[in-house]
């Protein structure tokens, strides 16, 4: 009887013990997330409604004055427009290119390791190195792009060509990782389904749009979300190549935040830009998740 009672007590304790152990495992990650993500975000949100001195100390409450001042600046309207254009072009172009490349190389062939390595190579190069390489390639006098195409274009000095140059670089940088994701997704499609569709008379395009794309739709959703966030956060190529110019044609929201905070020590204005960037990114992500209902098929 005593042994049976002890077993009953163990059964009662086990669920609670499991829950407590689970929280203990999550505790270190939660502490680091709070210290390095949530707490800085809360500080930024508070600073956006306050006046902040050059040392980063809050000196008073400003309410919505910081946002009114930000909305009245031409730099903000230009940065917002450029960020939205960059996101609207970068995400679908990168998605289409990587889907096409992955679809074309999904079959295992003798040269597959070579092609996969070539398409994945951009992942091995840092963003700063890529920017310096593109600076040389797009040089108006000694650059290979103008030489090979027979052009005389100032890619990084002409306000009409600077944003296309940034787009070309960001699309090229985004190909490698997305290609690997889509390649794995295409190869994970059950061969029985594709063989059955082929026997029914489905051609390559019908097979792609009716069988393969619906089955890899969760990967497509993930890539669209991550690419949208990365495009909204674009700063490195602008910082290295154009510094927001010429004539603010390549200035983005994150670069405006950088120049406001580190360039002029206007931390309250930088906090406002950061909060707006976060809000827009969150809004776009929520819109993507709401529009995917019924269109993404999870196996």
pLDDT at 22: 75
Torsion of Cα atoms, 210 then 215 then 219 then 223, to 10°: 10
Q: What is the DSSP string of 85-126?
A: HHHHHHHHHHHHHHHHHHHHT-S--TTHHHHHHHHHGGGGS-
Contact at 8 Å (CB) between 254 and 244? Answer: no
Q: Which residues, listed in sequence order, are joined to residue 50 by a DSSP beta bridge?
A: 61
The answer to whether the peptide bond before residue 246 is cis (omega within 30 degrees of 0) is yes
Residues 6+ apart with CB under 8 A from 232: 83, 87, 253, 254, 277, 280, 281, 284
Please give the Cα distance from 235 to 218 (Å, whole number): 28
pLDDT, tens only, 241-297: 999 988 899 999 999 999 988 888 889 999 999 999 999 999 999 998 888 776 676
pLDDT, tens only, 120-150: 888 888 889 999 999 999 988 888 889 888 8
The whole-model pTM stands at: 0.86
Q: How many residues does the chain have?
A: 299
């Amino acid at each position: 009887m005593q042994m049976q009672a002890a077993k009953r007590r163990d059964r009662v304790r086990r669920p609670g013990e499991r829950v407590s152990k689970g929280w203990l495992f999550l505790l270190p990650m939660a502490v680091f997330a709070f210290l390095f993500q949530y707490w800085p975000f809360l500080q930024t949100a508070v600073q956006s409604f306050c006046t902040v001195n050059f040392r980063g100390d809050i000196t008073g409450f400003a309410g919505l004055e910081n946002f009114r001042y930000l909305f009245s600046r031409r730099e903000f309207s230009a940065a917002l427009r450029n960020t939205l254009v960059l996101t609207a072009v970068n995400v679908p172009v990168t998605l289409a290119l990587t889907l096409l490349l992955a679809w074309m190389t999904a079959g295992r062939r003798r040269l597959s390791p070579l092609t996969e390595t070539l398409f994945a190579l951009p992942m091995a190069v840092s963003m700063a190195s890529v920017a310096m390489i593109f600076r040389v390639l797009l040089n108006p006098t000694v650059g290979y792009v103008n030489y090979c195409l027979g052009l005389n274009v100032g890619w990084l000095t002409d306000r009409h060509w600077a944003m296309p140059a940034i787009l070309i670089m960001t699309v090229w940088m985004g190909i490698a990782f997305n290609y690997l994701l889509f390649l794995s997704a295409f190869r994970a499609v059950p061969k029985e389904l594709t063989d059955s569709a082929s026997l029914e008379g489905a051609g390559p395009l019908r097979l792609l749009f009716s069988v393969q794309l619906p089955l890899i739709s969760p990967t497509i959703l993930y890539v669209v979300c991550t690419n949208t966030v990365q495009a909204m956060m674009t700063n490195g190529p602008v910082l290295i190549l154009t510094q927001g110019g010429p004539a603010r044609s390549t200035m983005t929201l994150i670069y405006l935040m950088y120049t406001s905070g580190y360039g002029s020590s206007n931390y309250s204005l930088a906090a406002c830009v950061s909060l707006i960037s976060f809000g827009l990114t969150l809004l776009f992500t929520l819109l993507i998740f709401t529009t995917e209902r019924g269109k993404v098929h999870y196996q």
